[in-house]
Amino acid sequence: MTKISTFLGAAASLALLAGAAAAEPAVIFDLGGKFDKSFNESAYNGAQRWAEETGQEYAEFELTSEAQREQAIRRFAEQGYSPIIMVGFMSATPLSQIAPEYPDTKFVIVDAVVEAPNVRSVVFNEHEGSYLVGMLAAMASETGTVGFIGGMDIPLIRKFACGYAQGVLATNPDATVIANFTGTTPAAWNDPARGSELTLAQIGQGADVVYAAAGGTGVGVLQTAADNDILSIGVDSNQNYLHPGEVLTSMVKRVDNAVYEAMAAGEAVETGVQVMGVANEGVGYALDEFNAALISDEMRAAADEAAARIASGDLVVHDYMTDESCPAIQF
């Protein structure tokens, strides 16, 4: 397996992009880094799978500040990389400005929609997967109180929380769902200490299952949950392995598949909007050897039945982002 690694941590590092070969793919990881054990790492796993299967190279860049976002996209485009894949909704604004300037370059953005003829926008039905893990949380809880800890307080993360709360209350109408967000700036994605504080606060309110949708901050949530003998729920990547027997499940977003498929298609990647949900296995709950003892046959059957109903359209989970309201929880 071979790849080109490019890091723009300092201004001088921009020069590293100068030697790039044309028509190789490039991946821009969002704040938090490619080893965040969550969203970015899922993207990294997809890129690595492509590189290992093909023996080809790709360029990569890990953002460490907002100021680098536009620079990275533009420099990769200038050097002829295609497709250029960016992970995270925060890249939508610079991409919408840059994509028209490079009409022969293909761009892929994960978690946002940019309307341009040379852009593929990949979005996920996170509310559907969150509904399923909400069901499991309600069935696993002994106190009837469960928690949600989000990263940055934005509609996308409220979408996770809303789906989760719907799943909880559909399973136990008398349950209590506590929701907190880490912050209102991008720093909220990488603050494990604050995640730990919020987890302790929710435990103090009776929560015995806590779902983290907070990027790198979630590592602190899962660790604190394990330290205090309550269950947690991971997100994006399968995080069950981080604390075997203590992570109830993970709401998996197949960001890895989105990245892999884009790299495999290369410059022939189809543009437009791609929606990944329960029906096409874009989201779901994780079951493996690390949490098998926590998920009873009854729990699995209930979640699988709900997933089948969601896939068929018989069960519609409300999407917070359609009207910025939630029938199951108030923010």
Whether the pLDDT of residue 19 is over 50: the answer is no
User: Are 240 and 288 within 8 A, CB to CB?
Assistant: yes
The alpha carbon of residue 312 and the mean position of all alpha carbons in its chain are separated, in whole angstroms, by 24
User: Are 232 and 225 within 8 A, CB to CB?
Assistant: yes
Domain boundaries along the sequence of the chain:
4-124+256-276, 126-253+296-323
- Write the CB contacts of 141 (distance below 8 Å, at least 6 apart in sequence): 172, 175, 208, 209
* Tokens coding 95: 């991409």
Ordered strands of the 84-87 beta sheet = 4-5, 59-62, 26-29, 84-87, 107-110, 119-124, 272-276
Q: What is the pTM of this model?
A: 0.88
What integer is the mean pLDDT of 275-303?
Answer: 97
| CATH node for 4-124+256-276 | 3.40.50.2300
Whether the pLDDT of residue 313 is over 90: the answer is yes
Phi/psi of residue 281, nearest 5 degrees: 60, 30
pLDDT confidence of 110, banded at 50, 70, 90?
very high
Whether the pLDDT of residue 10 is over 50: the answer is no
The pLDDT value recorded for residue 38 is 83
Whether the pLDDT of residue 15 is over 80: the answer is no
- Write the CB contacts of 304 (distance below 8 Å, at least 6 apart in sequence): none
For domain 126-253+296-323, the CATH superfamily is Response regulator (3.40.50.2300)
Q: What is the mean pLDDT of the chain?
A: 93
Whether the pLDDT of residue 2 is over 50: the answer is no
- For residues 106 and 90, give the distance between their C-alpha atoms in angstroms, rounded to a whole number: 18
- For the ranges 19-33, 149-163, 312-326, the lowest mean pLDDT is seen at 19-33
The pLDDT value recorded for residue 20 is 46
The pLDDT value recorded for residue 12 is 33
What integer is the mean pLDDT of 234-255?
Answer: 96
- For the ranges 2-11, 30-39, 143-152, the lowest mean pLDDT is seen at 2-11
Are 4-124+256-276 and 126-253+296-323 the same fold in CATH?
Answer: yes
